[in-house]
Chain A
Amino acid sequence: MAKVTIDGHTVEVPDGTTILNAARLVGGETVPPAMCYYSSLKGSGGKCRTCLVEVSKGSEKDPRPMPKLVASCSTPVMDGMEVKNKTSPRVLDARKGVVEFLLINHPLDCPICDQAGECHLQDLAFEHGKSATRYEFKRREFEKIDIGPYIQLHMTRCILCYRCVYTADQLTNGRVHGVMKRGDAAEISTFIEKAIDNDFSGNVIDVCPVGALTDRTFRFKSRVWYTKPMDAHRDCDKCCGKAVLWMVGNEVYRVTARKDQFGEVKEFICNTCRFDKKEASDWTIEGPRMIDRHSVISANKYFEPEPEHTPLLNKA
């Protein structure tokens, strides 16, 4: 066990836990944002650099501070380590720079993008970024690609977090895609099309932190904040069957997996649940999903969602 102090909060965690996961035990403001790390995907993290933190004391044995900021998602804690996240001006400044870098090639098409409202990059830029850009050159552009009948890839919006690559690698068997080319030219390869026969390929939509991989069955149907998220489940022989229905009235507009408070899916759902079960009668609705009051998803909804609606929807 190791004792670690993050922003003045001390927690005791097993050896080998990363700083990010230790901070998540503390919760709240202490948690560094993460764009590429995904707890349920092995090997993810270390690419986006948004989770940089300052280690002001290395450990009990070696109390020297680490000279540079470290990526909290891939740095394990040491006993007696002291970490500064929100309390360090260096971290906040570095994060501003990281946001600016992430946004260099990201188009300003939030009004069109289906991810707007639940986009991690949008939240990150709102919280840490500057409203202006210093980038004067042409942003990279790609044609959008339909990956099978359900998923659309907008490479222009991609921030190369590799989450979808890990998802396809770990949830499906026989991955035939990855990130091709290097540096500025890197892109998610179109070979991803071949991974599409798999039943769990739809999860790349959920793990994508931006709007690069979107649901074609929901494309331009509505905006996220007009739909009402409802927890629901059904008996599925392929997956856990636990999902969130995004509804307008009694119509199901979209089905996604359940994301936790850090925006991560713990139990992935299959393509049948996600794309084919778009009737309220296919599902047992448990009740409205709790959404942060400050999220745009709960904007303009004046009434507390009432659980009494549930029996009404269960008629089938």
Chain B
Amino acid sequence: MERLTTRAKQVSNKEMTLMERIYLPAILHGMGVTLKHFFMKKASVRYPEVQRPFSPVYRGVHVLKRDEEGRERCTACGLCAVACPAEAITMVAEERKKGEEHLYREEKYAAVYEINQLRCIFCGLCEEACPKEAIFLTDKITPVEEDRASFIYGKDKLVEPLDKRVDVSKRQSWRLNQA
């Protein structure tokens, strides 16, 4: 029969020699291997003091962007939800009233916008489907929570705060270069 591997070793039951029986040479050899690793380049980094660089298009937690004037870009068109293969996105639309023009960019906006981070597979199709450049994935990793309900992110967690804007220009320029 054809062999499946070239590294197979024949197992034998033969009596060990004296050198093998005192085990010392084998132990010393093993310690040598350990010692050698002290001087080798480490495979890990000391997280969180040191962090690995993210790819400019890393797909982490979503953000709902505002425009230059601080108005929400999302118009609740529902294309992200229909594109979502995991069905993680739900929304309820509402009509913008008079006097709310500084809050919402379009005449319709998402009153409720929820992403279930446990369902989300971070494929980025929502970002691709969005006609208003409202939803983007960021380089943020989903934080740990203690119950399942906290993983359903509402607008309070998704919409970028006015004083702490999220920079997605890198993703956008990467996209443009790809196109």
A219:B77 contact, CB within 8 angstroms: no
Complex interface bits, A286-308 against B, C-beta within 8 A gives 1, otherwise 0 = 00000000001001100000000
Determine the residue in chain B with the shortest Cβ distance to A224: B78
A220:B77 contact, CB within 8 angstroms: no
**CB of A275 within 8 Å of the partner chain:** no
B77:A225 contact, CB within 8 angstroms: no
Contact A225-B106, Cβ < 8 Å, known A111-B75, A111-B131, A112-B75 = no
Determine the residue in chain B with the shortest Cβ distance to A144: B107
Interface SS of B by simple majority: loop
- Neighbour of B107 across the interface among A112, A225, A299, CB < 8 A: A112
**CB of B158 within 8 Å of the partner chain:** no
Which residues of B are found within 8 Å of A219, using beta-carbon distances? 95
Interface size class of A (residues with CB under 8 A): 10 to 19
Determine the residue in chain B with the shortest Cβ distance to A109: B106
Complex interface bits, A211-252 against B, C-beta within 8 A gives 1, otherwise 0 = 000000001111101100000000000000000000000000
A112:B106 contact, CB within 8 angstroms: yes
B82:A220 contact, CB within 8 angstroms: no
Distance of A111 Cα from B75 Cα, bound (Å): 7
**CB of A270, distance to nearest CB on chain B (Å):** 27
**CB of B87 within 8 Å of the partner chain:** yes
Complex interface bits, B72-107 against A, C-beta within 8 A gives 1, otherwise 0 = 000111110110000100000111000000000011
Which residues of B are found within 8 Å of A112, using beta-carbon distances? 75, 77, 106-108
Distance of A111 Cα from B129 Cα, bound (Å): 11
A299:B82 contact, CB within 8 angstroms: yes
**CB of B162, distance to nearest CB on chain A (Å):** 23
Distance of A112 Cα from B78 Cα, bound (Å): 10
**CB of A75, distance to nearest CB on chain B (Å):** 38
Distance of A116 Cα from B94 Cα, bound (Å): 16
Complex interface bits, A105-120 against B, C-beta within 8 A gives 1, otherwise 0 = 0000111100010000
**CB of B132 within 8 Å of the partner chain:** yes
Complex interface bits, A83-124 against B, C-beta within 8 A gives 1, otherwise 0 = 000000000000000000000000001111000100000000
Contact A111-B94, Cβ < 8 Å, known A220-B108, A225-B82, A300-B87 = no
Distance of A111 Cα from B110 Cα, bound (Å): 12
Distance of A12 Cα from B82 Cα, bound (Å): 44
Which residues of A are found within 8 Å of B108, using beta-carbon distances? 112, 220
A225:B78 contact, CB within 8 angstroms: yes
A223:B78 contact, CB within 8 angstroms: yes
Distance of A220 Cα from B131 Cα, bound (Å): 17
**CB of B134, distance to nearest CB on chain A (Å):** 10
A111:B106 contact, CB within 8 angstroms: yes
B95:A220 contact, CB within 8 angstroms: yes
Which residues of A are found within 8 Å of B78, using beta-carbon distances? 223, 225-226
Q: Which 7 A-B pairs have the closest CB atoms?
A: A111-B77, A223-B78, A220-B93, A112-B108, A111-B75, A111-B131, A220-B108
The 26 listed contacts between A and B (C-beta, < 8 Å) are A109-B106, A110-B131, A111-B75, A111-B79, A111-B106, A111-B131, A112-B77, A112-B106, A112-B108, A116-B77, A219-B95, A220-B76, A220-B93, A220-B95, A220-B108, A221-B93, A222-B93, A223-B77, A223-B78, A225-B82, A226-B78, A226-B82, A296-B82, A299-B82, A300-B82, A300-B87
Given pairs A110-B131, A112-B106, 17 additional interface contacts (CB within 8 A) = A109-B106, A110-B77, A111-B77, A111-B79, A111-B106, A111-B131, A111-B132, A116-B77, A220-B93, A220-B94, A220-B95, A220-B108, A222-B93, A226-B78, A226-B82, A300-B82, A300-B87
